[in-house]
Structure 1
C-alpha cells in the first residue's frame, strides 16, 4: 500500500479596486479559511500561468472580466493539514458587475473601503491589503 504524497497547492487571485478605491472581496465557503473574506480567485491548473489563473477564476466565480497587472503579494499558508501558496495580482482593469456564479465556493461578495474591511479575512487578502496600503 502506497502513502499519498503531499504537495503544496497554489491559488491565484485578483485584488480589484473600483473607481472609489474600494476592494472587491468574496466570502469563502471551503476550507482552508472557510467563512473568511478574501480576494476572488482559485486553484492554479497544470500548465496555466498564475496571472491567467487569477483572471479565469475571477470570471468563473463572479462573471467579471479582469486584466491582471503587477504581482501584489505572495502568501505562504502552511499548517499541519494544508499547505497553500496564494499569489495575488493587482487588477489593471475589470468589466462587468459581480454575481456569484459558484455558490459552492462563495457565500457573498462586496466592495469595501481599505479602512473598513470585514472580518475575518484570509491570509492572502491581509497581505494584499498591506501591499495596497504600502503603495510605492
Structure 2
C-alpha cells in the first residue's frame, strides 16, 4: 500500500527507492503490511518510516497489480493522505524524498505504471 500526499502548493510527495525492487526510481511512499496490520496503520507507519511525516489516511484512490520476483503478484492499494506533522526527510529504504510538480513527473525515472495509475485516478499534481 502507498500514500498519495499533496502539499499546499499541490505538489505530490515522492520517494526515491534506495533498495530493490525499483532501486533509484521514484514512487509513492509505502510498502508491505505487517502481519495483522490494517491498511490505514500500514500507510501511517510506512510514510513515517520513509519520510518522517505523520499523516491522516483518507479514502482509497485506487489499486494496481504489479509483478514481483519469482512470479509473485503484488496487489498495491494507494490511499489519499494529508500531512498532520513533520518535515520530509528520507529514511528507512528511501534514498531521497521530494515534493514534485507535474513537470517533475515527466523528467524523473518513475516506478513502472505510476504515472498511468495517477492519471487514471485523477491524482496528478496541479489537477
> TM-score band, normalised by the shorter chain?
0.7 to 0.9
Which one has a bigger Cα radius of gyration? 1
The residue that corresponds to 2:53 in the other structure is 64
Pick the structure with more helix per residue: 2
* Equivalent residues of 1:38, 1:124 under 8 A apart: no
Can you give the 5+ residue segments of structure 2 that lack an aligned partner in the other structure?
none
Change in Cα spacing, 1:72 to 1:128, as seen in structure 2 (3 Å) is farther
Corresponding residue SS for 1:18: coil
* Local SS of the residue matching 1:84: strand
TM alignment of 1:69-80, pairs within 5 A: 69-78=58-67
Q: Which segments of 5 or more consecutive residues in structure 1 lack a partner in the other structure?
A: 1-11
Are residues 127 and 52 of structure 1, via their aligned partners in 2, closer, same or farther at CA, if it must alter by over 3 Å?
farther
Report the RMSD for the aligned CA atoms in angstroms.
1.9
Which residue number in structure 2 is paired with residue 113 of structure 1?
101
The size of the alignment, in residue pairs, is 120
With the length of structure 1 as denominator, give the TM-score of the two structures. 0.78
Distance in 1 between residues matched to 2:47 and 2:69, nearest whole Å: 28
Q: Which residues of 2 match residues 1-136 of structure 1 at below 5 A?
A: 12-78=1-67, 81=70, 82-102=72-92, 105-117=93-105, 118-123=107-112, 125-130=114-119, 131=121, 132-133=123-124
- 4+ long deviations beyond 4 Å: none
| 1:93–1:109 Cα change, 3 Å | closer
The verdict on how the C-alpha distance between 1:116 and 1:99 changes in structure 2, with shifts beyond 3 A counting, is: closer
Give me the whole-angstrom Cα distance separating, in 1, the residues matched to 2:113 and 2:37. 20
